[in-house]
Amino acid sequence: MQLVIAGLSKTYANGVKALDNVSLTIPTGMFGLLGPNGAGKSTLMRTLATLQEADSGTAMLGDIDVLKQKHEVRKVLGYLPQEFGVYPRVSAYQMLDHIALLKGVIHNGERKALVEALLQKVNLWEHRKRRIAGFSGGMKQRFGIAQSLIGEPKLIIVDEPTAGLDPGERNRFYNLLTEIGENVVVILSTHIVQDVQELCSNMAIINKGRLLFAGAPNDALAEVKGRIWEKSIAKGELEAHSAKYRVISNKLISGRPSIHIFSEQHPQDGFTAAEPSLEDVFFSHIHGALETAAA
Ligand code: ADP
């Protein structure tokens, strides 16, 4: 089973081209879709989740035509949106029970066993009688995972899952995601490089609706190896360095700016070779230092 997206495009009524001829093959396992805000990630996720239409292109999940056989897709889809909108004032137990019923788990005993197992799995058993509206961000996300797992999905779409979670909650969420079966296509859309670095065996980078890279994180790192240089500078020196070099990131380390630049050759001038991170790859693409389009 894999998800094969070919030539997917979407232009909104206001003229924004949110997806520009995106072609991407996504195998089973955890796949990271990385891009800055406004890159088109939600548009792609919502299209795959049958919540909105593309203008052109195709997406096949195994032999299901995702854009045409919406009913078939929904049967095998687990979707965890960025925001649920209004959180229901019913308990976690009641809500899961309700969703399971909607997804066709009609037999009462079977549904009870399923709901109980899911609440245990996502560590919300103790809180099962509490209203979801009163949950913390991390608890809401874990509830989201529980509901997305009903019905043994083959495709799980998780949109910006860790935004707003504290580090402890994020770790619990990561652990939960990695327990999802290996035979499921899991797409994790995020602007947080660390999410992809820690979880994903394959990834893509998109920006302004265009695919900039697709492959394994290690291949992404190989792209920039030997081309990333770092230097600690004084605050007032940033502008001059930005004018002279291709600055791809700028972080404060102990209150002093530390810049990473992209350069084919050693720039001298006090720079040292940096061990590239996925963040360097991401920013090199976003800033246009790597122009090679993904295959
Ligand atoms: P991301 O999820 O990567 O932040 P989105 O898919 O939400 O990106 O948005 C991609 C682009 O499309 C952005 O420029 C956004 O402003 C625009 N956009 C998203 N939804 C709509 C919409 N319903 N109508 C018009 N423009 C939209």
Measured distance CA(156)–CA(152) in Å, rounded: 10
43 CA closest ligand 1 atom index: 6
- For 80-87, what is the mean pLDDT? 70
Give the pLDDT of residue 281.
93
CA of 18 to the centre of ligand 1 (A): 6
Q: Whose CA is nearest to atom 10 of ligand 1?
A: 40
Give the pLDDT of residue 87.
65
Q: Whose CA is nearest to atom 12 of ligand 1?
A: 18
154 — phi, psi (to 5°)?
A: -100, -20
Q: Residue 127: pLDDT above 80? A: yes
| Claim: this prediction has a pTM higher than 0.85 | yes
Residues of the chain with CATH 3.40.50.300: 3-76+153-215
Give the pLDDT of residue 294.
44
Give the pLDDT of residue 235.
87
Give the pLDDT of residue 62.
95
**pLDDT tens column, 258-292:** 999 999 999 999 999 999 999 999 999 998 877 65
One-letter amino acid at 175 equals: N
Q: Residue 175: pLDDT above 90? A: no
**Strand bridging mode 228-232 / 256-262:** antiparallel
Q: Whose CA is nearest to atom 13 of ligand 1?
A: 38
Ligand 1 pocket: which residues have CB below 6 Å?
12, 14, 16, 18, 35, 37-43
CATH topology classification for 3-76+153-215: Rossmann fold (3.40.50)
**pLDDT tens column, 128-161:** 999 998 898 888 888 988 998 898 899 999 988 7
**pLDDT tens column, 47-82:** 999 999 999 999 999 999 999 999 999 889 998 877
Give the pLDDT of residue 191.
87
The two counts, helices (H) then strands (E), for the chain are 10, 14
Pocket test for ligand 1, best of 12, 51, 52 (most atoms within 8 A of CB): 12
**pLDDT tens column, 224-256:** 999 999 999 998 999 999 999 999 999 998 889
Q: Whose CA is nearest to atom 22 of ligand 1?
A: 12
Q: Residue 98: pLDDT above 80? A: yes
Confidence of residue 174 (pLDDT cuts 50, 70, 90): confident
Give the pLDDT of residue 293.
44
Q: 30 forms bridges with which residues in the sheet?
A: 186
Give the pLDDT of residue 182.
79
Pocket test for ligand 1, best of 33, 43, 207 (most atoms within 8 A of CB): 43
Which spans in the chain are helix H?
41-48, 70-75, 92-102, 108-121, 137-148, 167-178, 193-199, 217-224, 238-244, 278-286
CA of 19 to the centre of ligand 1 (A): 9
Q: Residue 295: pLDDT above 50? A: no
Between 231 and 191, the higher pLDDT residue: 231
One-letter amino acid at 74 equals: R
CA of 238 to the centre of ligand 1 (A): 32
Lowest-confidence segment of 103-117, 169-183, 224-238 by average pLDDT: 169-183
Pocket test for ligand 1, best of 9, 16, 211, 212 (most atoms within 8 A of CB): 16
**pLDDT tens column, 198-224:** 889 999 999 999 999 999 999 999 999
- For 98-123, what is the mean pLDDT? 92
CA of 102 to the centre of ligand 1 (A): 30
Q: Whose CA is nearest to atom 7 of ligand 1?
A: 42
Confidence of residue 121 (pLDDT cuts 50, 70, 90): confident
